[in-house]
Amino acid sequence: MSNATSTDLYEVTMAQSYLSESMTGSATFSLFVRNLPPDRGFLVCAGLESVLDFLSAYRVDADDVDVFASVMGRPPEDLAPLLGLEFSGEVRAVPEGRIVLAGEPLLEITAPLPQAQLVETYVLNQLNHQTAIASKCARCVLAADGHQVVDFSLRRTHGIEAGHRAARLGAMVGFAGTSNVAAAHSEGLSAVGTMAHSYIEAFGLEEDAFRAFARSHPGPVTLLVDTYDTVTGVATAARVLRDLGLGPGCAIRLDSGDLGALAVRARTILDAAGLQETRIVASGGLDEFAVDSLVRSGAPIDTYAVGTRIGVSADAPYLDSAYKLVEYDGRPVMKLSSAKVTAPGRKQVFRRPGYADLIALIDEPPPPDGVPLLESVMREGRRVSERTELLTARQRFAADLAELPPGARTIRAPVAPKAELSGLLSSLAAHVRGYIEKNLIRDAGEVI
């Protein structure tokens, strides 16, 4: 059984019906985020590599057909038209690491209708989750204002794969390391970590624990100082680091309490012990809001270890994303539902200075100051671009972030730039709307 069964049931029922009706013409679906979550001034596009891996290997095999038939309560022969179906379409997408705005297509898939429909769930799942996490991580980097940020999220993410994604996405937007050993190894990241309170408690004295840890790890060590009394713990750590000559490169970690005030006291103790180069790491339920407050207060914290709230994007765990049909068999289509209107036709997004982005039709000439965001990444079911390396995505993000208006970068109450529709796209939308409404009136009259 392949990943083809990682889909919603209605994708299968629709695909089966399309095949029965010989509706296999070319269809284009556009994936976009309708509205940004609260306290978001931008999104960081992520998840495309996972999508391309999935589409490249997509094939409905006999086991998949058996699963479809089983859950539908149908004989396998009813689902036989799906057997052997592969993805043979085209994908145009915004590369990973680029900043995007509400309403802008992150990706457009053009393929025979049953194919484009069947892959919807997986594509949405990957882009929705990874874009949400990458955007949250990016805000932490902004809040840290040049201080290091590291990922401690693995134990609280919604699954091991999600934890791996969080580590990679954090690195993509500027995190300095991760506690996730597997992700550090496979993604070429710096592995970071300290010790747990259980380690301290296992020894008779806090100082014994610190000395034992230093003996086991002769390189720079980070000592967790808040198991009992934080100020006493800092003083004990300072004594051990000084006695063993381990100051440069080492750190102490604060994990609870008033982190700002404790960091000030810790810095004073460390400096008095001649340990000016010993760093202070803060952790314990941090997110971009807490980091922003600590940085603004002037707390002498060198590294922020963020975990739970970042790995699950706690304040905005999902995006208002959609994957909508915009063209079928050469005919532009749109949805008119209240508050969920879509724009018809295949599209391109042009990035203009100041993020005055323009959403246009795919064959429109670019504005003089516009740069296209969507690139062709797959044709006839095969990649046509190289796999995005983490460093490349990181460079894209840094370049886009440097041009982002200050109002969109703020942590609290950001002002998000708004993309505009081109005149031709607006005209097409009005034409399609008129056609639909005319036919609705006609059909309603026939019913009455």
Torsion of CA 215, 218, 221, 223, to 10 degrees: 10
Strand (E) or helix (H) holding 323: strand 321-328
Query: Coil, strand or helix: which one is 189?
Result: coil
pLDDT number for residue 93: 98
- Measured distance CA(394)–CA(207) in Å, rounded: 41
Tokens of 218: 């002769």
172: number of Cβ within 10 Å: 27
Cβ neighbours, 10 Å, residue 176: 18
The whole-number pLDDT of residue 448 equals 46
Q: In the numeric block, which tokens belong to residue 350?
A: 């042009």
Residue 363 half-sphere exposure, CB side, CA atoms within 13 Å? Answer: 2
pLDDT below 50 — which residues of the chain? Answer: 445, 447-448
**Domain range annotation of the chain:** 3-133+319-447, 194-282
Question: The tokens of 293 are what?
Answer: 């407050």
Per-residue model confidence (pLDDT) at position 443: 58
Residue-level length of the chain: 448
Instruction: Please report, as a single letter, which amino acid is at residue 293.
Output: S
Candidate CATH numbers 3.20.140.10, 3.40.1390.30, 3.30.1330.60, 3.40.47.10; the one for domain 3-133+319-447: 3.20.140.10
Q: Which amino acid is at 145?
A: D
Q: Provide the pLDDT for residue 2.
A: 67
Distance CA 118, CA 220 (A): 51
Global pTM reads: 0.95
Instruction: Please measure the distance between the N-terminal and C-terminal CA atoms of the chain and give it in whole angstroms.
Output: 50
How many Å apart are CA 233 and CA 110, to the nearest integer?
60
Phi-psi label, residue 424: left if phi above 0, alpha if psi -120 to 50, beta otherwise: alpha
Count of alpha carbons within 13 angstroms of residue 212, beta-carbon side: 12
What does the pLDDT read at residue 165? 97
CATH of domain 194-282: 3.20.20.70
Strand-pair category, 251-254 with 303-306: unpaired
Which single residue is written with the structure tokens 């794969």? 161
Question: Given this model, what pLDDT does residue 192 score?
Answer: 95
